[in-house]
Amino acid sequence: MLRSEVSPYHSRTPQSELSRNAANVITTWQKLLKYFLPSIDEEIEVILKFEEMCLESAKEFSPLFVQILHLLYDKDILQEEAIPNWASEKEGADESDKVFVKQSEKFIQFQLVTCRLYFLGLRLLIFE
């Protein structure tokens, strides 16, 4: 969906417009996207597919990767665990396969802390 919406003219479109177009597509289709992503595994597949799309059009889409990852999370399309799990799947990969993980390091760290706090809160509730 995202590719068909922004690709036809991406080579001559400014980053800000590509970003807005991507955000509009995600916002418009967020309920449908979430419906077809019933598990973290499917959510990770979406991140991997978006990585692939960014690599195919690196100049235009690579700078948008972290921003769109944030948006997918903010729109509740990706669960908190999906992002750190995606990053951990890349741990043994070649450096060239970790480009977007490196771009996303701050957001990944935030997600790890958020997940830990969430699970700590659950433990506290269980043992109270």
Report yes or no: 57 and 10 within 8 Å, Cβ to Cβ: yes
User: Taking phi first (over 0 means left), then psi (-120 to 50 degrees means alpha), and beta for anything else, what does residue 93 get?
Assistant: beta
Length in residues, the chain: 128
Distance CA 63, CA 74 (A): 18
For the segment 5-33, the average pLDDT, to the nearest whole number, is: 78
Q: For residue 111, what pLDDT band results from cuts at 50, 70 and 90?
A: confident
Q: What is the structure's pLDDT at 9?
A: 45
Give the model's pLDDT for residue 108. Answer: 84
The token pair at 7 is 């690709």
Domain extent at residue 67: 2-127
Q: pTM for this one?
A: 0.75
Residues 6+ apart with CB under 8 A from 9: none
Higher pLDDT, 16 or 86: 86
In the chain, how many domains are there? 1
5: pLDDT strictly greater than 80: no
**What is the mean predicted confidence (pLDDT) over 7-33?**
80
Q: Is the pLDDT of residue 122 over 60?
A: no
> Would you state the pLDDT for residue 110?
80
pLDDT band at residue 8 under the 50/70/90 scheme: very low
